[in-house]
Amino acid sequence: KQEVTQIPAALSVPEGENLVLNCSFTDSAIYNLQWFRQDPGKGLTSLLLIQSSQREQTSGRLNASLDKSSGRSTLYIAASQPGDSATYLCASLSLTGGGNKLTFGTGTQLKVEL
């Protein structure tokens, strides 16, 4: 059974700081790893998707890496802004008993302060 863990659970940083969010997973037999953003009480917005054959993906100030062998992924946010404040969730995609199932971590709640 896949388990996904995210560290830290919460993070508060001053504006402009670079930061790293961590995600670990127990079963390396994944098809991809996705990072999502969730604003309070809202749905999920996909940020980056890394295929199992890839090492990293970049979008603007965001960079996500994937190391399947160690069961780890990181999300790097450069030059953080107050608008980046949200909960960040990572999820691994695996095929289990039929269907493509996303297994989520519990998220990192990020607050970027002025």
Partner 1 sequence: ETGVTQSPTHLIKTRGQQVTLRCSSQSGHNTVSWYQQALGQGPQFIFQYYREEENGRGNFPPRFSGLQFPNYSSELNVNALELDDSALYLCASSLDMFPGGDTQYFGPGTRLTVL
Within 19-78, which residues bind partner 1 (CB under 8 A)? Answer: 31-32, 34, 36, 41-46, 49, 51
Residue 20 C-beta: closest distance to partner 1, Å: 19
Under the criterion CB under 8 A, does residue 80 sit at the interface with partner 1? no
CB nearer partner 1, residue 81 or residue 106: 106
User: What is the residue whose two structure tokens read 């790097």?
Assistant: 76
Within 87-106, which residues bind partner 1 (CB under 8 A)? Answer: 89, 91, 93, 95-106
Interacting residue ranges for partner 1, rule: CB under 8 A: 4, 31-32, 34, 36, 41-46, 49, 51, 89, 91, 93, 95-107
